[in-house]
Structure 1
C-alpha cells in the first residue's frame, strides 16, 4: 500500500495541524506538504513530555523493554511503505534503506535486552556498619535514574537509524526518558511514518501519550525553542559542526545548562605505515576508494584523509586510488544544499596552496562525483583550512617526509570519531609510537580496515574529542549510549519500601 503523508505533528498522542507549512523536496517521486512547527507547539510537546515522565520514568525495565520491541515490530509492519517514502526523499538505494531499517529495529531490540540485564544501572550498595569506629557508616545505595524529557534532532544522512526511532530515541526511551523529536526537513515523510509506528506501540503498551512527540519544520526558531525549553533535560544531535555548535552554545547559556550530546564531524584519518604500503599499497587504495565513495561519502565516519610517507609506494597508492575513483559514477546526494556545500568545499580545498588535483569529476544539481587531492605534509601543516570535514566523497592524500612528520601530523589533529592504522608486522614499532597519540584523538581506533560501517554492540564507541562530538565521554551508538540520559542518585538509610525495586535487594 502506498503511504501518503498527512503532514501533521504528533503531540500528547494527537495529530496536530499548524497554519504554516513547508513542502518536501524529494529526490524522486511526489512532493508533499507538511505543517511547520512553532515555539508554541514546542511548549505543548515539552509540557506533555514532562507530564508523561512522572509515569514513564517509573515504569519497570520489563515494560520499557516490551515498548521498545513493540516499536520495532510496528516499524516492520510498515516496512514496504517506509522503504518507498525513504528512498523517494533521500535518494538512497533500496538496499541501503532496508539495511538501515534492520539496524533501527535491531538497536531497539538491543536496548530492550540491555535494560533487562540491568547493567546500565551501575548499582552500588555499601551496607551500614553501625559498629565502625570512630563513626558508624550509614547504609548507602546508588543507582542510575532517568534525566527527564530529551530533545532529539533527526540526522540528514540516516533517515532511519539516526532519526525518528534511531539510536538517540531508542537509548532515551530505554533510560526512561520521554522524547521530543525534531524531524529533519530532508525526509519528513519518513519521520511521519516511523512516528506512526511509535504511536501504535504507545497504544499497544499503554504508555503515556506524551512519551513521544514529532515536530516538523519551523526553521531555527523551533530548534532554539526546543533546546532552551526549561523542561528539556538533555539533547541528542547528529549534524554539522556549525549547527551543532550553535545549539550547544544555547544549551550552555540556559539559566540551568543541560548536556548537549552532539556528533558533529570528523575527517577520520588513516595512517598508512611503510611495511603495509610496500606489501599492498594497491589493495589499500582500492579499499579506501570504496569506503570514501560509499553512500556518496555521506557518512560521519567517511575516511577523508590518508597519511603516507612519500615515495614509490605512496605514488602507487595515489595512482590506484585515482583510477578506482575514475570508475565511480555520479551519485545522488541527500539534498540540493548538501550537494552545493560539497562542491563548494571541494573547490576550496582544491584551491589550497600546494594542492594537486588527481581526480575531479564535474557533476551538477543533486549529484556528486569524487574529488581526489594530494598535498605534501608541509602544505597540510601550513593550511588548517584543509583540516575541516567536507561532507561527501572528497579524499586527500598527504605525503609526509618521514615517520617523524607523520607523528607530528597525528599530534596536531583535532578530535576525531575514528583513526585507522594500516600496518603489517614490520610496522609494529611505529604503530606503538602512534597509539598513545591516536588514543587521545579518537573514540574508535581501527587496524587494517575502513571506518565506514559502525557496529551496534556493547563495545562500540561512536564519539570522540571535540569537534567530533561535544562530549568525548559519550557514544551515540551501542548500549553505552544510554548513559547520556541517566544520572546517579544515592539513597542513604532509605526505608526499603521507598527504594527503586533494583535497590531493595542486598
Structure 2
C-alpha cells in the first residue's frame, strides 16, 4: 500500500492506493489504444465539448480538490484554489482552440502546372499520434499534473492520456483522476480516454510500452534523464517532452538600480520566495551592479529576507537537496551568505501549522562576484534561494552567463536611456532562453495563445512549449494526402469546407 506525507508535519499516512502492477499498466495502455481508435470517429466539436465538461467538473469539485491537495503539499488553500482555476481555464482554452481549428495547419496545393512542371495535388494537416503518457509534477498538483496542461493539450489533439501520479500528492492525483474520469464518462467519452498508474515501476513500464506514442514530463533533470534512457532502449523510440531544470537569470542595470532599487528588491524577494521558491521560473541568480545604488538594493533584499519566515517544501527529497546545495555553496570561498530567514521564522512556521518534523526552508540570499560564477554556483536550488552576482561592467555579465545553464526565462530591469545596453544584453540572453521578461518577474506563467514555456537544454529537451495553445503541437503529426479521392479526406481538407483557417495554393484563407 502506498503512503502519503503531510509536508508540514512529516506525518505519513496510508492511502487506499497500491502500486500498479505491470499487467495492470498494460491493460490501462491497451484501453487507451482502444479509446484512440474510437476518438478518431469523433469530430472537433465533440472533442471541444469534452474539454469544457472536464473544466466544469474541476470547478464543481473545487473545495474537495483543494482540501486534499493542501494536506499533501502544504501550498495553502488560496494558492491551490487559484491553481484549480488555472487547470479549468486550460481545458476551456484548448476547447476554444479546437473549435477554431487553426492548430491543424491545414494546407491545400491543387494539382496542375507549376514552375517546375506538372505537379500532383497535396493536402496536409496535423493528426493525433496515439496514447500519451503524462507524468505529474510535484510543485503544481493541478496545473502540471493529472488535470494539467499536458493532459488538456493531448486530449485536445485527439489523444487518450495515461497519467503517472506523482508520489508527493497521490490522493490529489486520485481525486483529480476520479473527477475527470467521471466527467468524461458522463459526456460519453470512450472507456480508456483517461487512465492512471501509480508507483515508480509503473512509470517505467508506461514509457516502455510499445503502444505509448509520446511522453510529457515536468520534473527533475535526473528523473527526466532516467525516462529518456528507458525510451532510448525501446524498439521504437518516441518523443519525450521534458521540462527539467532552469536558473532563470535576472539582470538589473545601473539605471534601474538607481531609479527603483527598493521596488526591484521587493519584487525579487516576492518572486524567489513564491511558492517556497518551488517554481520552475524562479529567478535563481540576480545580476546587480556594484556601487552605492546596487548596495542599497541588496541591503533592502537582505532586510526582507532576514525578516522572513521559513516555509514548507513539498517533500523530504527537495528539502534535503536544498540544504545540501545551500551548504555547499556557502562552503565555497567565493560565495557569501548574505541573509537567511530570521528569528521570526520559527514562530511563523508554528502558526502556519508545520513543525520541526516537517519539510521547511528559510529564504536565503547568497552573494558572489559575477566574475567568480562557476557551473557549481549556477546549479538550480529548488527552494527559496537566490544568488546575487555583483558586476562592474556588462562584460562581467557576459562572461558569467557562459557558466549559467540555458533557462526557461531571462529578465532585464532597465531604464529607457539604457536602450543600447539592453539591446546588447538581449543579444546575449535570447539564444539562451525561451522567454524574455522586461521590468517584471518570471514567476507566474500566463496561459495564452502567444505563450512559450520552454527553452534550450537543460530547461527542456525540445523546441515546444508546455503552456499555451501551441502545446498541442507536441501531440500531433503531419499527414499529407496526395491525389486522394474526396471520400477519404478529413472534412477540413475538402474543397467546400470553410470552418477553419487554411492555406490554399499558398494563400491564407480565414474561416
TM-score range, shorter chain: over 0.9
Partner Cα separation in structure 2 for residue 440 and residue 101 of structure 1? 34
Q: 8 Å contact 1:107–1:170 — kept in the other structure?
A: yes
The CA deviation string for residues 89-138 of structure 1, in whole angstroms up to 9 with x for no partner, is 11111100100000000000000001110010001100111x45774211
Question: 1:43-442, aligned counterparts within 5 Å?
Answer: 43-129=26-112, 131-132=113-114, 135-217=117-199, 219=200, 221-361=201-341, 364=356, 365-380=358-373, 383-442=374-433
Q: 1:501 to 1:343 in 2, by over 3 A?
A: same
The CA deviation string for residues 26-73 of structure 1, in whole angstroms up to 9 with x for no partner, is 236883422111222221111111111111134211111111111111
Q: 8 Å contact 2:137–2:219 — kept in the other structure?
A: yes
CA apart distance, 1:24 = 1.1
Greater length-normalized contact order (CA 8 Å, ≥ 6 residues apart): 2
- 1:387 is paired with a residue whose SS is coil
- 2:215 is paired with a residue whose SS is strand
Partner Cα separation in structure 1 for residue 393 and residue 26 of structure 2? 58
Structure 1 length-normalised TM: 0.92
Partner Cα separation in structure 1 for residue 428 and residue 41 of structure 2? 43
Partner Cα separation in structure 1 for residue 7 and residue 394 of structure 2? 46
Partner Cα separation in structure 1 for residue 226 and residue 293 of structure 2? 43
- 2:217 is paired with a residue whose SS is strand
- 1:385 is paired with a residue whose SS is coil
Partner Cα separation in structure 2 for residue 323 and residue 110 of structure 1? 41
- 1:460 is paired with a residue whose SS is coil
* Mean Cα deviation higher: 198-207 or 118-127: 198-207
Identify unmatched segments of 5+ residues in structure 2.
347-355, 497-511
Partner Cα separation in structure 2 for residue 133 and residue 458 of structure 1? 37
CA apart distance, 1:281 = 1.5
**Aligned counterpart, 1:470:** 461
Q: 1:352 to 1:287 in 2, by over 3 A?
A: same
Partner Cα separation in structure 2 for residue 410 and residue 373 of structure 1? 17
Q: 8 Å contact 1:58–1:176 — kept in the other structure?
A: no
* Mean Cα deviation higher: 294-303 or 223-232: 223-232
Q: 2:21 aligns with which of 35, 38, 51?
A: 38
**Aligned counterpart, 2:474:** 484
The CA deviation string for residues 330-365 of structure 1, in whole angstroms up to 9 with x for no partner, is 111111221122111211121123111111248754
The CA deviation string for residues 196-242 of structure 1, in whole angstroms up to 9 with x for no partner, is 1111122222111011101122x2x2222111111111000000111
- 2:119 is paired with a residue whose SS is coil
CA apart distance, 1:418 = 0.4
Structure 2 length-normalised TM: 0.91
Q: 1:275 to 1:132 in 2, by over 3 A?
A: closer
Q: 1:309 to 1:469 in 2, by over 3 A?
A: same
Partner Cα separation in structure 2 for residue 465 and residue 452 of structure 1? 18
Number of aligned positions between the proteins: 480
CA apart distance, 1:411 = 4.5
Partner Cα separation in structure 1 for residue 12 and residue 209 of structure 2? 35
**Aligned counterpart, 1:17:** none
The CA deviation string for residues 237-266 of structure 1, in whole angstroms up to 9 with x for no partner, is 000111111112322332211111000111
Partner Cα separation in structure 2 for residue 319 and residue 53 of structure 1? 58
The CA deviation string for residues 360-396 of structure 1, in whole angstroms up to 9 with x for no partner, is 248754111111100012221xx31111111000110
Partner Cα separation in structure 1 for residue 403 and residue 65 of structure 2? 43
